[in-house]
Amino acid sequence: MTLVGWLQILVILAAVVAFAVPLGAYMSKVFAGERTILAPVLGPVERGVHRLAGVDPAREQTWLGYTLGMLAFNAGGFLLLYLLLRLQGVLPLNPQGFPGLSPHLAFNTAVSFVTNTNWQSYGGETTMSHLSQMAGLTVQNFLSAATGMALAVALVRAFARSAAPTVGNFFADMIRATLYVLLPLAIVTGLWQVAMGTPQTLDASVSVETLEGGEQTLALGPVASQLAIKQLGTNGGGFFNANSAHPFENPSPLSNALTIWQMLVVSTALVFAFGRLIGDKRQARAILATMGLLLLAGIGLCYWAESAGTPVLAAAGLDPAGGNMEGKEVRFGLAASALFAAVTTGLSDGAVNAMHGSFTPIGGMVPMVLMMLGEILPGGVGSGLYGILVIAVVAVFVAGLMVGRTPEYLGKKIEAKEMKMAVLAILILPTAILGFSALSAVLPVALSGLGNAGPHGLSEIYYAYTSAAGNNGSAFGGLSANAPWWNTTLGLAMLLGRFAYIVPMMAIAGSLVAKTRLAPSAGTFPTHGPLFVGLLAGIILVLGGLQFFPALALGPIAEQVQMLAGKTF
């Protein structure tokens, strides 16, 4: 590790927080339905969309109505995308003449983009037509992120409101999230990416003569427009197979910094918006501090592990001071790769600028664990906030009793109904990850897709299902996932991780919104300040750690200790 490396990391994170504060203030206005500076431009557009779609923003929905509206909308989005992908061969804007996708790949991909996962069992430049990329994937990049934001806002309202029947209007919230937050940011940062060298064209490819005199075909397309929302919406699905390691997606260290900033900024700002919406910024700071603490720990561990390198590389005659550069782009280096890996997994983004499977076992375990902790550090756009709020409810329940009152969070009493739903929600991740992984660890049909034997192969399995169920979408590498077993089960894991979590989460919102919001007193469990930060971080680590420790012991931990003993797979 170097000082410059750490400075790089801290400067980028500081830039995120610096912009997230005003953005959060702006977003809190957007979701409170107040007038914002963009109203003169976007107000008429918004009203037009409302008229077209028949949405009356004043008509609020109960949690059930909100949830059903969201499910119906996403089911529609899935169907459209599925059809588009299956039929792309006969549809226009297909300069390379790609055929339609196989049923299992189309299912997997459509689920993947609707659930904000962006797991890609395919290589973009060799599979997807421009139409699929633009009208299919990019559209879902916006809508899945907006869906997440709307859901988070509904849960925040459940805390903020006192004895109210409704949590908002899903369609109005989603339209606002798209129009006022995602579109302007995507336009501005997309143009910046074009300026830094990312292509934006409807051409298929160019042929260039290489230095050796050979000929090379470089795939092109509407890259920048998809790239901006890929990161802003914590989607992470690359235009190209190599994702953010590809020089067109991520040409330079500066674009790398912008890319990391893009992924973090909306989720971070949403936490600040949460503080304003509930009228207590200290609560938001505590949540953000928890996220930051754990994320920094993850970055640090990964950076350390990669800098330490491996005895195997040293034995091969490489300078140990260089660390483990396998699978990393030299233009980014160790620090920016470790930062990217931790951020993309702490965030449920899933873009990668290095191959996580080539990290040292512990370095590669960090992104895996960050996903296993629930994609809440700070998590996907919206999903991170509602995820950590559900965990906070559990944390407050466990520890809150210790102050001698029935637990309450943000002035709402946490009772049997909330616990039931919170428990259902937190059961989803371990069940989906461990359940599918265990099956895949013994079924020959699954094992044939592994790229490595031994504990590394097990890590490939864990990583795939963790990435899917956590709606992250990043890949470990090594796994040949474009096969019926993997496409189908990963698709199911994505659906479970997204919607089976959302329904109980929204049930909590419905139960909380109806409760009277209590004023805090000296006897109230304090949910701001370092004590709560430590508690919440502890619960996240213990809860996540306890679930996955046995599995990890056989995967990356076993691989690390064996690697140190000179054994590789």
Partner 1 sequence: MAAKAASSSIVRPDLLGRAALDAFAKLNPAALMRNPVIFVTEVVAAVVTVLFLRDLLAGNPLLFTGQITAWLWFTVLFANFAEAIAEGRGRAQADSLRKARTDTVAKRLSDRANRAQWKPVSALDLKVGDHVLVETGDFVPGDGEIVEGIASVNEAAVTGESAPVIREAGGDRSAVTGGTTVVSDWLVVRITAAPGSSFLDRMIALVEGAERQKTPNELALTILLVGMTLIFLVAVVTLTGFSAYAGAAISVPVLVALLVTLIPTTIGGLLSAIGIAGMDRLIRHNVLAMSGRAVEAAGDVDTLLLDKTGTITFGNRMAAEIVAVQGVTDVEAAQIAVQASLADETAEGRSILVLARDAYGIAVPDAQPAGVTFIPFSAATRLSGVDMDGRRIRKGAVDAVRRFVRESAGREVAEPAAFTAAVERIAKSGGTPLGLAENGRFIGVIHLKDVVKPDIKERFAELRRMGIRTVMVTGDNPVTAAAIAGEAGVDDFIAEATPQDKLNYIRNEQRQGRLVAMCGDGTNDAPALAQADVGVAMQTGTQAAREAGNMVDLDSDPTKLIEIVGIGKQLLMTRGSLTTFSIANDVAKYFAIIPALFIAAIPELGVLNVMGLATPESAILSAVIFNALVIVALIPLALKGVPYRAMGAAAVLRRNLLVYGLGGILVPFLGIKLIDLAVSAFGLA
Footprint of partner 1 (CB under 8 A): 162, 394, 397-406, 411, 414-416, 418-420, 422-424, 426-427, 430-431, 434-435, 437-439, 441-442, 455, 457-458, 516-519, 521-526, 529, 531, 535, 538, 542, 545-551, 553-555, 557-558, 561-562, 564-565, 567
State which H helix or E strand residue 488 sits in: helix 484-495
Q: Is 454 buried (19+), middle (13-18) or exposed (0-12) by CB count in 10 A?
A: middle
Find the shortest distance in angstroms from Cβ 527 to partner 1.
10
User: With contact defined as beta carbons under 8 Å apart, do 490 and 465 qualify?
Assistant: yes
CA distance 554 to 552: 5
Smallest distance from the beta carbon of 524 to partner 1, in angstroms?
Answer: 6
C-alpha closest to that of 256 among 181, 146, 335, 369? 335
Q: Which is nearer to partner 1, 148 or 504 (CB)?
A: 504
C-alpha angle 81/217/477, rounded to 5°? Answer: 60
As to burial, measured by CB atoms within 10 angstroms (0-12 exposed, 13-18 middle, 19+ buried), residue 191 is middle
In the complex with partner 1, the residue whose CB is nearer, 174 or 507, is 507
Nearer to partner 1, 254 or 401 (CB): 401
Q: Using the minimum distance from each CB to partner 1, give the nearer residue, 76 or 534.
A: 534
In the complex with partner 1, the residue whose CB is nearer, 6 or 569, is 569
Smallest separation (angstroms) from partner 1 to the CB of 428: 11
User: CB of residue 563 vs partner 1: minimum separation in angstroms?
Assistant: 9
Amino acid at position 470, single letter: G
Nearest distance in Å: CB 404, partner 1: 3
Contact 124, 351 (CB under 8 A): no
Q: Can you tell me the distance from the alpha carbon of 21 to that of 273, in angstroms, rounded to the nearest whole number? A: 8
Q: What is the residue whose two structure tokens read 């067109």?
A: 248
From 276, 297, 298, 272, select the one nearest 285 (Cα to Cα): 272
How far apart CA 192 and CA 213 sit, in angstroms, is 33
User: Least distance (Å) from partner 1 to the CB of residue 318?
Assistant: 23
Minimum distance from CB of 111 to partner 1 (Å)? 23
**Minimum CB separation from partner 1 for residue 538, in Å?**
7
Sign of the torsion angle spanned by Cα atoms 345, 351, 353, 357: positive
The C-alpha atoms of residue 545 and residue 542 are separated, in whole angstroms, by 5
Nearer to partner 1, 175 or 551 (CB): 551
CA distances from 480 to 205, 237, 462 (A): 26, 17, 14
CB of 371 to partner 1, least distance (A): 17
* Burial of 315 from C-beta contacts in 10 A (0-12 / 13-18 / 19+): exposed
- Of 145 and 362, which has the nearer Cβ to partner 1? 362
Q: Identify which of residues 76 and 526 has a Cβ nearer to partner 1 in the complex.
A: 526
**Between 273 and 426, CB nearer to partner 1:** 426
R_g of the chain, CA atoms, integer Å:
23
